[in-house]
């Protein structure tokens, strides 16, 4: 990665894996981190923890999120790194989830990341440098049986499709990849998970700081490619 100072926008940066990603990027010293959360209070707490700058970004309405991302870039300067980390998890199988919850999961986990890529990708393409990381899950991998709750699994599978399509559209100077952090001890993952947030953040941070000859359009766990 060049030594020029970059600016990263991390969604869901107020806790868990998102906070660990923000901390990992900020610790490098050459990246300014914008900590995004739905509520400005939470964004500020995260910014204070990592030495970043807070931004409020509500992903429940992707159309508003897209316009807000444009405003963030106009206000805070060019965004070079986008980490789509924020997500919602609704428990239940195909018959136990309401249509409203299913649509809400898609809005936050899939459509909002697409909206942010639409808002920020053109600038990266024009500047001929960018890194986009979509925090996905093995639960959204067909190769691993799509074993998670249906709304979450479907939304992450769709996010993987967005990753492939965006890499094709924006490449090769804008790297777009998906990361599976594994089972992590967060509010979503629960206390019994085997990995710490820092371990879960390692691959997303690596993908966010890839060199110019790094991969694009891939799905990674522990810095290794995995099947879709």
Query: Which are the catalytic amino acids?
Result: 152
pLDDT at residue 203 in the model = 98
Mind listing the domains of the chain with CATH numbers?
Answer: 6-225 (3.40.50.720)
- What pLDDT is stored for residue 2 in this prediction? 44
Provide CB contacts within 8 A for 16, sequence distance 6+.
Answer: 184, 186, 187, 188, 189, 197, 200
Long-range contacts (CB closer than 8 Å, 24 or more residues apart) made by 66-73: 66/115, 66/116, 66/118, 66/119, 67/119, 69/9, 69/115, 69/116, 69/119, 69/120, 70/119, 72/9, 72/34, 72/36, 73/119, 73/120, 73/123
Distance CA(138)–CA(32), nearest Å, equals 30
Would you say 156 and 109 are in contact if contact means Cβ atoms under 8 Å apart?
yes
Report field, pTM of the whole predicted structure over 0.85: yes
How confident is the model at residue 31, as a pLDDT? 98
What pLDDT shows up at residue 1?
39
Of 109, 74, 76, the residue nearest 90 (C-alpha): 109
Tell me the pLDDT tens digit for each residue of 17-75. 999 999 999 999 999 999 999 999 999 999 999 999 999 999 999 999 999 999 999 99
Structure tokens at 6: 């970059």
pLDDT in the model for residue 23: 98
Give the pLDDT confidence score for residue 184 in this predicted structure: 65
* Residues 6 or more apart whose Cβ sits within 8 Å of residue 206: 220, 223
Which residue ranges in the chain fall short of pLDDT 50? 1-2
pLDDT at 190: 76
Torsion angles phi and psi, residue 169, rounded to 5: -75, -40
């Amino acid at each position: 990665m060049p030594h020029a100072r970059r600016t990263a926008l991390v969604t869901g940066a107020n806790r868990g894996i998102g906070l660990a990603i923000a901390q990992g990027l900020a610790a490098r010293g050459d990246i300014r981190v914008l900590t995004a959360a739905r509520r400005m209070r939470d964004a500020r707490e995260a910014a204070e923890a990592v030495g970043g700058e807070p931004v409020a970004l509500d992903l429940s309405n992707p159309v508003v999120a897209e316009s807000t991302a444009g405003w963030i870039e106009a206000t805070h300067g060019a965004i070079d790194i986008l980490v789509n980390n924020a997500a919602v998890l609704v428990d239940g199988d195909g018959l136990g989830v309401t249509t409203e919850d299913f649509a809400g999961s898609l809005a936050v986990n899939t459509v909002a990341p697409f909206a942010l890529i639409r808002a920020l990708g053109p600038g990266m393409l024009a500047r001929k440098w960018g890194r986009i990381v979509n925090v996905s899950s093995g639960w959204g991998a067909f190769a691993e049986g799509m074993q998670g709750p249906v709304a979450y699994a479907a939304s992450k599978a769709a996010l993987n499709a967005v990753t492939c399509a965006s890499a094709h559209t924006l490449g090769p100077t804008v790297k777009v990849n998906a990361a599976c952090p594994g089972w992590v001890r967060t509010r979503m993952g629960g206390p019994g998970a085997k990995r710490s947030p820092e371990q879960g953040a390692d691959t997303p941070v690596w993908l966010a700081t890839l060199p110019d000859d790094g991969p694009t359009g891939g799905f990674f766990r522990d810095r290794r490619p995995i099947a879709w």
